[in-house]
Chain A
């Protein structure tokens, strides 16, 4: 049995942390979303729903939100397409190379996000590595402009950054599949492909769902990649929030968007968690 002192010592600091750095800021944010900005550029505390109504009325916000979701969905699909085969190879066929390859997946996570963002800027720019290479091979004759400062650039950069986050839960779920189930499937006459489709893939779905959720949610809230490589056409919802809290000085509207985004993400997490539980049998 633990003493009362010990129990308080381990519970109070995290509770305090959560309260001061999460609950209180969220409450302040929530309040701001019902306030407004006066003509004198000060925030006035007259409670109203104007901010939310403006979000619904002005199509620009919904457009940016949909673009953000499109980018997030693309990143999710690409991260799954890259991450799943690699995770599968690591778990089932890498044998002695397993540890080395696993480390190679992890190491990029140690490099700063910013460094990786700038790296893509260097690669995709009009006198960047990619354009130089294409012109050297005479595939193109002048720099291709749309590589950088486009949704395409944002998708590439974020896919690079979030693929390890997708791979890891998939890898973990593949590692948890008892190998004798694979043997049993072969034993019962199922070919390797059929075994993958009927045993390995269904049993790894909780990991796929967790990985997809990571990629989607992290991308949806990202603002650095669009800032670095997105250009005007690659602006995402978080950039709108950043500018509303900054230069535009409209904290109440920014708070309303933030709150809507939070609601969206929490709903998404709730649904995927339920789905994951249903998929995870035994």
Chain B
């Protein structure tokens, strides 16, 4: 097995089955004594929308800056196809960046901002106006070609930044929290546009964000970064449905972490007991709030099958949430169990709940290995 194929297999996704367009291998980066990236290996498939998700300080922006060439790595390699990317200067990499603060040149018009990269690469003069016009039309900024950047709103500058990067037809587009400065409505609108734009141009996007909802809405795959190490790399549905670690389960969506004692295929966490395939011992399980159902039949009726687990608990709190209510259930454990239940009516006292045993996903605790 070739090295690249080995990495593809390691990252565990069908998306990497083809030759990766970008390959990050064992990358380590320190700022002074402080390690920021502690050995990152990641393959990005051609045409993929990959999101690097992490809290502030997780190293996600540093990883992006290493790919762009704004920082030098301490060890490891970055490859683009057959080309060793980390050894060539930023201006010779076929990568473009959309900066968090847009970094629009204030002394140039919108048109000249977009034309900047084309002029730098000595594109044929005759070709430039046409390509710039098309790029501006693509982000719906055609009428602002002659405007001064200072006159544009944040959202408009964002579009110019996108056009300025895409006009160069990069092999990989890097986006560093490009939507974080926009207000909530504009942000949702830009998410939709960004996704359809990516499909349209077919360029590989590497998108950095700390917003897990944004990551899930946009990405083909999410690379969850935690303190300089990759916690899990998987498509959003997989990372949500089958989180590998307690951290992943908690960071992406809400969850209940159940610390259970497993013996002979039965897990028990306080009064909650369910069948499991895992090996015996102490283990942590993640159970999403929406996987918990309210038992409405009269008590004493047996569950539908053996894979359904039931437990009783006192309603501690119920908050109305429109489609789904959030219910906190007291059932003896250290933490209340949170459940999301569609229109349950007003609940009180002790009630019975159930969940499908498979929905309790065994997760690793602590640092990724």
Return the CB mask of B144-184 against A: 1 if under 8 Å, else 0.
00001110000000000000110010000000000000000
A191: chain B residues at CB < 8 Å are 91, 120
Write the nearest CB–CB distance from B165 to chain A, whole angstroms: 8
Complex Cα gap A50–B116 (Å):
59
Write the nearest CB–CB distance from A281 to chain B, whole angstroms: 5
B320 at the interface (CB under 8 A from A): no
B101 at the interface (CB under 8 A from A): yes
B103 at the interface (CB under 8 A from A): yes
Q: Count chain B residues whose beta carbon lies closer than 8 angstroms to a beta carbon of A.
A: 26
Cβ contact of B150, chosen from A185, A194, A282, cutoff 8 A: A282
Complex Cα gap A181–B97 (Å):
12
A224: chain B residues at CB < 8 Å are none
B70: chain A residues at CB < 8 Å are 183, 186-187
What is the predominant secondary structure among interface residues of chain A facing chain B? helix
Interface size bucket, A side? 20 to 34
Given contacts A186-B69, A281-B148, contact A181 B103 (CB under 8 A): yes
Whether the Cβ atoms of A180 and B120 lie closer than 8 Å is no
Write the nearest CB–CB distance from B186 to chain A, whole angstroms: 21
Return the CB mask of A174-198 against B: 1 if under 8 Å, else 0.
0000101101111111111011001
B105 at the interface (CB under 8 A from A): yes
B120: chain A residues at CB < 8 Å are 185, 188-191, 194, 198
Write the nearest CB–CB distance from B86 to chain A, whole angstroms: 15
Write the nearest CB–CB distance from A120 to chain B, whole angstroms: 39
A183: chain B residues at CB < 8 Å are 68, 70, 90, 97, 99, 103
Q: Report the nearest A residue to B167, measured CB to CB.
A: A188
B105: chain A residues at CB < 8 Å are 181, 184-185, 199
Whether the Cβ atoms of A180 and B99 lie closer than 8 Å is yes
Whether the Cβ atoms of B107 and A189 lie closer than 8 Å is no
B34 at the interface (CB under 8 A from A): no
Complex Cα gap A143–B95 (Å):
62
B90: chain A residues at CB < 8 Å are 183, 186-187
Complex Cα gap A188–B164 (Å):
8
Whether the Cβ atoms of B150 and A189 lie closer than 8 Å is no
Could you say which of B96, B107, B121, B165 has the most chain A C-beta atoms within 10 Å of its C-beta? B107
A203: chain B residues at CB < 8 Å are 106-107
Return the CB mask of A123-155 against B: 1 if under 8 Å, else 0.
000000000000000000000000000000000
Write the nearest CB–CB distance from B64 to chain A, whole angstroms: 11
- Chain B, 111-165, CB within 8 A of any chain A CB: 116-117, 120-121, 148-150, 164-165
Complex Cα gap A202–B107 (Å):
8
Complex Cα gap A187–B107 (Å):
18
Q: Report the nearest B residue to A199, measured CB to CB.
A: B105
Complex Cα gap A171–B105 (Å):
19
Write the nearest CB–CB distance from B100 to chain A, whole angstroms: 8
Q: Report the nearest B residue to A178, measured CB to CB.
A: B103
B168: chain A residues at CB < 8 Å are 188-189
Write the nearest CB–CB distance from B266 to chain A, whole angstroms: 56
Complex Cα gap A186–B91 (Å):
5
Given contacts A183-B99, A202-B107, A203-B107, contact A282 B91 (CB under 8 A): no
Complex Cα gap A232–B148 (Å):
53
Complex Cα gap A281–B105 (Å):
10
B89 at the interface (CB under 8 A from A): yes
B107: chain A residues at CB < 8 Å are 199, 202-203, 281
Write the nearest CB–CB distance from B222 to chain A, whole angstroms: 24
Whether the Cβ atoms of A180 and B103 lie closer than 8 Å is yes
Could you say which of B96, B97, B103, B148 has the most chain A C-beta atoms within 10 Å of its C-beta? B103
A186: chain B residues at CB < 8 Å are 69-70, 89-91
Q: Report the nearest A residue to B101, measured CB to CB.
A: A180
A187: chain B residues at CB < 8 Å are 68-70, 90-91, 95-97, 165
15 residue pairs from A and B, CB less than 8 Å apart: A183-B90, A184-B103, A184-B105, A186-B69, A186-B89, A186-B90, A187-B69, A187-B95, A187-B165, A188-B91, A188-B120, A189-B92, A190-B117, A281-B150, A282-B149
Q: Which 4 A-B pairs have the closest CB atoms?
A: A188-B117, A282-B106, A184-B103, A190-B120
Beyond A184-B97, A188-B91, A203-B107, 9 additional contacts (C-beta under 8 Å) are: A178-B103, A183-B68, A183-B70, A184-B105, A185-B120, A186-B90, A189-B92, A192-B91, A281-B148
